Amino acid sequence: MSDVHPPEPTPEVSQLSATALARVWRVFTAPAAVFREIAARPTWLWPLVVMVVLSVVGQLIVAPRVDLDATIRQSMEQSGRQLTDDQMDQAITIAKKVAKVTMFVSPLFVPVLYLLIAGLYFLLLKLVGSEAEFGRVFSGTMHATIPADIVKSVLLTVVAWQKESFAATDLETMLKSNVAAWLPEGAPQATIALGGVLDIFNVWKWILLVLALEIIGRVERKKAVGLVAAVWGVWALALMALRALR
């Protein structure tokens, strides 16, 4: 019996894979061109692979350096609660178990997060009359957010790697890229939450999301701006409300 060899990939499939990988890097330098290509032929696998790999690497470096004791104490101080030594020990034990699970599970949330973002913008585009298909919106919104996510993930991992330990809450302001990182100690929690949203990396995302929705969704720029502003405005208000209740 002759050996059976799997069929070699066709030139078209190979070219599409190469194009999809190139889009991950070209969206940094030529986002409008990438979004026009996505409007004609969406791709999504390579961006997910890149972000999942970065998530795994980040977890392996960052998670072991998180000081759970300091994290819990900071959280209790912010909420005004006091724990006995036994309660603190129990809370730390539970936190360690949760951290172990989170380390392995969090990379799985990467595609779920991008699907949720795409689904939200897809519904909003439909509300303003766009005929864009979900696959194109998914690919477009993911490519719009990955440049900032890649740079932020790499920088955060590098900075965290140089530290022996830190509280989990310190991750929010470790890069000094948002307003919250420059607020004085003791600032209101709602203000800190808003400052965390006003981040250089988020601004980068907003600009690319507007461009992606405009090109792929085929809507006016002012509508694209309105959709992005509405989503992030609601998100900021939700974070402020949650922080104020703590």
**What number is the average pLDDT over the span 15-42?**
89
Query: Which pLDDT belongs to residue 15?
Result: 60
- The pLDDT mean for the chain works out to 85
Question: Does the pLDDT value for residue 1 go beyond 70?
Answer: no
Domain that holds residue 113: 15-245
Q: Is residue 94 part of a domain?
A: yes
Question: Does the pLDDT value for residue 9 go beyond 60?
Answer: no
Cα–Cα distance between 151 and 30 in angstroms, integer?
Answer: 16
Q: Is residue 10 part of a domain?
A: no
Q: If 0-12 CB within 10 Å is exposed, 13-18 middle and 19+ buried, where does residue 77 land? A: exposed
Tens digit of each residue's pLDDT (9 = 90 or more) over 137-163 = 999 999 999 999 999 999 999 999 998
Query: What DSSP designation does 150 have?
Result: H
Cα–Cα distance between 84 and 86 in angstroms, integer?
Answer: 5
Tens digit of each residue's pLDDT (9 = 90 or more) over 172-192 = 888 999 999 999 988 888 999
Q: Is residue 148 part of a domain?
A: yes
Cα–Cα distance between 152 and 172 in angstroms, integer?
Answer: 11
Query: Which pLDDT belongs to residue 65?
Result: 85
Query: What DSSP designation does 24 have?
Result: H
Pair of tokens at residue 171: 């991750």
Cα–Cα distance between 138 and 141 in angstroms, integer?
Answer: 5
**What number is the average pLDDT over the span 201-209?**
97
**What number is the average pLDDT over the span 47-58?**
90
Q: Is residue 232 part of a domain?
A: yes
pTM: 0.84
User: Contact 231/120 with Cβ under 8 angstroms?
Assistant: yes
Instruction: Name the band, by pLDDT with cuts 50, 70 and 90, for residue 77.
Output: low
Instruction: Name the band, by pLDDT with cuts 50, 70 and 90, for residue 59.
Output: confident
How many domains does one find in the chain?
1
Residues 6+ apart with CB under 8 A from 163: 65
Query: Which pLDDT belongs to residue 150?
Result: 94
**What number is the average pLDDT over the span 7-34?**
75
Sign of the C-alpha dihedral computed for residues 228, 54, 199 and 183 taken in this order: positive
- The one-letter code for the residue type at 113 is L
Q: Is residue 7 part of a domain?
A: no
Which residue from 52, 58, 64 is spatially nearest to 152, judged by alpha carbons? 58
Q: Is residue 177 part of a domain?
A: yes
Query: Which pLDDT belongs to residue 5?
Result: 43
Q: Is residue 88 part of a domain?
A: yes
Query: Which pLDDT belongs to residue 32?
Result: 96
